[in-house]
Amino acid sequence: MAKKVVLVDRDDNVVGYKEKYEAHHNPAPLHRAISVVIFDKAHKKMLLQKRSKEKPTWPRFWSNACCTHPFIGELYKSAA
């Protein structure tokens, strides 16, 4: 079963659901997403990852440490 993302309006009110793959194609609807940034202040460094060539969106691109989508009903902090 394909994972669904939560579609929202500009005030983060839920307006629907869409399969994750479909939510990342133009025009991409506004949806909930999580980004985790790991920063070492002492050395002024940020952890990055190179996305897999197998990823359907942005393959082989450099990205933040982790990015995902909260499950339906899941809080942002729990998802992170």
Q: Convert the pLDDT of each residue in 25-50 to its tens digit.
A: 888 899 999 999 999 999 999 999 99
How many folded domains does the chain comprise?
Answer: 1
Q: Which domain holds residue 66?
A: 4-79
| pLDDT above 90: residue 2 | no
**pTM, full prediction:** 0.80
Alpha carbon 33 to its chain's center: 4
What's the mean pLDDT when you consider all of the chain? 92
Q: What share of the chain is helix, strand, coil (3-state, %, to 5)?
A: 10, 35, 55
Residue 79: its H or E element: helix 76-79
| pLDDT above 80: residue 4 | yes
At 26 the pLDDT is: 82
